[in-house]
Structure 1
Amino acid sequence: MKEESRTNIGTPVPDASDPEELHEQVERTRDELGRTVEALAAKADVKAQAKEKTAAAKEQASEKVALAADQLRGKAEQATRLVKDKTPDPLLERTAQAAAQVRDTASKAGQYAAGKAPEPVREKAGQAASFARTNRGPLIVSGTLLAAFLLVRRARGRR
């Protein structure tokens, strides 16, 4: 290709006397044009861009939720340890005894109610029991906190 055979936009003009060079120039131009068209099509595909941004936002939100859940779990464990450490042993024993009595009474009441209750009520009770089984830890912590609160309140009332 000769230096003087250039257009004013900087693209070399092939020497018309060499058909191979002309063919190579056409192939290069086709490749460049194909890449340009693909790039323009990608920029014009608003739906695909929206999907990509949505997926990225979803992933980022999931990461933040997981981080917050981990932090919350850690703080709950710390609060549980603190309550257990600060609660006197006799109180913990009484709470455990009360929990056992409540379980026993609830079991008896459940058996009695199962024989007397209509089917929709039994179904709702089964759902509540399954919820309590799956969330046993938080319910125990909540019960312990409630019992400690009530005992402290009761002790302050006697003064």
Structure 2
Amino acid sequence: MVRTPEEDLEDYIWGRCKEQDYLERVVKCDEFISGNILRRVSQIDESLNRQLRKGVEENLSRLLEQTTALEALDCTQRNVHTEMNDVYENCDRCSSLERLFSWWPRSKRLQSQKSPRSRHASQSQGCCVATTSHFASHGTHAAALRLGCVGLHGDCRRLHRGDLENT
């Protein structure tokens, strides 16, 4: 089967043959004239442009739907990123509070446990440590960690200032 130079060129353009094989055939063939090659390349270019326009016209509605879906996905990703930043900040606060409680002298802890507010702060600290452990081991949703730590943050600030000891 004898192939025409145009078929060889088309095979090369579409990637059906290797560049080296195509160039060897070009060198061996007398029929390859630059005018013929340029004409064929122009025809293929026009054909590709028509096919591309046709494909876009046929799929325009689906492409627009996908654009909307991608925008919604981007919005969701931003929300998740914000949530994860909140989780990080809450975990950081819990870690700081845990260090504060472990540093706080035992005698002051025992003395402050006599007041109801101090007991509440100590219980909150234990709850926060448990919540943090649960979050780390089970991947619990960020809201659970936030609920456990919000009250603790205020209690520990007051405890650190000494407000809870006097109540």
TM range (shorter): 0.3 to 0.5
Larger-Rg structure:
1
Higher RCO (Cα < 8 Å, 6 or more apart)? 2
TM-score normalised according to structure 2 size: 0.40
TM-score calculated relative to the size of structure 1? 0.42
